């Protein structure tokens, strides 16, 4: 099969490309950075350098493909972030239709069913809505949970203060996903025909901040490690001090509020979805321990 992937060689896309190459497919990888060309070709794929917001570039790259994998980065630009992501979705739709692509797998997120109150996830909500207009396309939307690997960013705080957390409570339910589980699901979907428009979840584990702190603490020899709920204004101050753009800070705070109110996880639980991933928090703890010891 001729398959086009987006996401360059990011944490998930890199694994998807490797799985597809191993399976013997002809893979073209879209990247915005020309310096990624050599690493892409080293994997046995073809690099296509351009922007996912450029419908003409996407159309040319998609032409003749049997399947396309689409994703967007968590943020695009420092302002108008949701609008930028939504516009990338419109460019995808135009290119898919013009290039007559019949099989599409889209990476989305838990909470993408909600139009408001989810922070940066609102961007992929708009893309899901745009993709609903596609006709004569077998589309599978894969909604991922929060990546385990996000907890690597908490290592400095854990080392310094023996705690970590966010602006939601330690007993709020979290849907977690391991990149390997997600990449496996994406690669599998790209190699099958699909069945109209489908929405599927790829969740590795259901947990809470308190439970995650306990598991990770045991792994790194800090059984007393705890989860702290950070007030919204304190989180905002911390992110400001870290130099994040003001618009992104607002979206991050809003996403935590969405976890706190249950907006982000509501559809998963109310629709009776199941955990499909294999890698649980206890297994991820071994990866966390390695990163922690290297830090």
What does 19-81 look like in DSSP terms, one character per residue?
HHHHTT-EEEEEES-GGGHHHHHHTT-EEEES-TT-HHHHHHHHTT-SEEEE---S--SSSSH
Could you tell me if 192 and 231 lie in one domain?
Answer: no
According to the model, what pLDDT value does residue 77 have? Answer: 80
DSSP 173-201: EEEEE-HHHHHHHHHHHHTS---SEEEEE
Which residues does 62 contact at the CB level (< 8 Å), separation at least 6?
Answer: 4, 68, 95, 96, 99, 101
Could you tell me if 182 and 246 lie in one domain?
Answer: no
User: What is the pLDDT confidence band of residue 240, given thresholds at 50, 70 and 90?
Assistant: very high
Maximum alpha-carbon separation in the chain: 57
Domain termination site, one of 186, 202, 218: 202
Query: Is a pLDDT exceeding 80 seen at residue 20?
Result: yes
245 lies in some domain: yes
Q: What mean pLDDT is predicted for residues 54-76?
A: 95
Could you tell me if 187 and 269 lie in one domain?
Answer: no
Could you tell me if 196 and 261 lie in one domain?
Answer: no
Strand order in the sheet with 138-144: 46-49, 26-31, 2-5, 67-70, 103-109, 138-144, 197-202
164 lies in some domain: no
257 lies in some domain: yes
227 lies in some domain: yes
According to the model, what pLDDT value does residue 37 have? Answer: 97
Could you tell me if 266 and 128 lie in one domain?
Answer: no
Query: Is a pLDDT exceeding 90 seen at residue 75?
Result: no
User: What is the pLDDT confidence band of residue 73, given thresholds at 50, 70 and 90?
Assistant: confident
Could you tell me if 219 and 89 lie in one domain?
Answer: no
Q: Is the separation of the CB atoms in 197 and 30 below 8 Å?
A: no
pLDDT in tens, 163-183: 999 999 999 999 999 999 999
The percent of residues above 70 in pLDDT, for the chain, comes to 100
Q: What is the mean pLDDT of the chain?
A: 96
Q: Which residue has the tokens 């990149």?
A: 179
Query: Is a pLDDT exceeding 80 seen at residue 158?
Result: yes
Both tokens of residue 108? 């989305």
Q: Which residue has the tokens 């990449």?
A: 183
According to the model, what pLDDT value does residue 76 have? Answer: 81
Residue 280: which CATH number?
A: 3.90.25
Angle at 71 between CA 65 and CA 76, to 5 degrees: 130
Could you tell me if 75 and 189 lie in one domain?
Answer: yes
- Measured CA to CA, the distance from residue 213 to residue 152 in angstroms comes to 13
Q: What mean pLDDT is predicted for residues 131-157?
A: 97
Provide the β-strand partners of residue 28.
4, 46
Residue 119: which CATH number?
A: 3.40.50.720
Q: What mean pLDDT is predicted for residues 254-266?
A: 97
Could you tell me if 59 and 195 lie in one domain?
Answer: yes
How many domains does the chain contain in total?
2
102 lies in some domain: yes
pLDDT in tens, 83-111: 999 999 999 999 999 999 999 999 999 99
Could you tell me if 135 and 217 lie in one domain?
Answer: no
Query: Is a pLDDT exceeding 80 seen at residue 150?
Result: yes
155 lies in some domain: no
Query: Is a pLDDT exceeding 80 seen at residue 23?
Result: yes
Could you tell me if 219 and 250 lie in one domain?
Answer: yes
- Measured CA to CA, the distance from residue 112 to residue 117 in angstroms comes to 10
| DSSP tag of 245 | -
Residue 24, Cβ density class (10 Å: 0-12 exposed, 13-18 middle, ≥19 buried): exposed
Domain that holds residue 250: 205-294
Could you tell me if 8 and 67 lie in one domain?
Answer: yes
251 lies in some domain: yes
Chain mean position to CA 202: 11
Could you tell me if 18 and 131 lie in one domain?
Answer: yes
59 lies in some domain: yes
């Amino acid at each position: 099969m001729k398959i086009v992937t987006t996401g360059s060689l990011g944490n998930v896309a890199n694994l998807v490309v490797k799985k597809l190459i191993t399976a013997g497919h002809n893979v073209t990888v879209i990247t915005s950075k020309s310096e990624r060309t050599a690493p892409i070709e080293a994997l046995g794929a073809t690099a296509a350098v351009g922007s996912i917001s450029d419908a003409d570039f996407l159309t040319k790259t998609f032409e003749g493909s049997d399947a396309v994998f689409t994703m967007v980065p968590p943020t695009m630009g420092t302002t108008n972030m949701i609008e930028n992501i939504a516009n990338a979705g419109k460019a995808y739709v135009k290119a898919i239709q013009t290039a007559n692509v019949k099989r599409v797998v889209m990476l989305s997120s838990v909470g993408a069913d909600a139009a408001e109150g989810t922070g940066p996830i609102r961007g992929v909500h708009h893309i899901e809505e745009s993709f609903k207009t596609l006709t004569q396309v077998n589309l599978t939307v894969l909604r991922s949970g929060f990546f385990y690997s996000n907890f690597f960013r908490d290592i400095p705080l854990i080392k310094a203060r023996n705690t970590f957390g966010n602006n939601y409570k330690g007993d709020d339910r979290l849907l977690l996903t391991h990149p390997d589980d997600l990449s496996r699901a994406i690669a599998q979907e790209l190699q099958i025909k699909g069945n109209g428009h489908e929405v599927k979840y790829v969740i590795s584990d259901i947990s809470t901040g308190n439970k995650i702190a306990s598991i990770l603490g045991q792994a790194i020899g800090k059984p007393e490690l705890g989860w702290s709920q950070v007030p919204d204004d304190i989180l905002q101050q911390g992110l400001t001090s870290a130099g994040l753009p003001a618009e992104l800070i607002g979206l991050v705070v809003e996403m935590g509020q969405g976890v706190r109110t249950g907006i982000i996880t509501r559809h998963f639980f109310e629709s009776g979805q199941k955990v499909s991933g294999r890698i649980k928090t206890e297994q991820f703890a071994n990866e966390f321990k390695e990163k922690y010891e290297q830090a």
